[in-house]
Amino acid sequence: LLSKIDDETDIDLSLSALINAALVWTRSRNAMIGRMNDDLGALELTHGAGLDWEGDTTMQRVNISDREGAGIVAYVAARGASFVT
Contact 19, 33 (CB under 8 A): yes
| Percent of the chain whose pLDDT exceeds 70 | 93
Contact 33, 18 (CB under 8 A): yes
- The predicted pLDDT at position 25 comes to 92
**What is the C-alpha to C-alpha distance for residues 28 and 20, in angstroms, rounded to an integer?**
10
Compute φ and ψ for 68, nearest 5 degrees: -60, 135
Output 65 or 50, whichever has higher pLDDT. 50
CA distances from 78 to 1, 12, 15, 27, 43 (A): 30, 26, 24, 24, 10
Output 25 or 66, whichever has higher pLDDT. 25
For the chain, give the mean pLDDT. 82
Element (H, E) at 22: helix 11-26
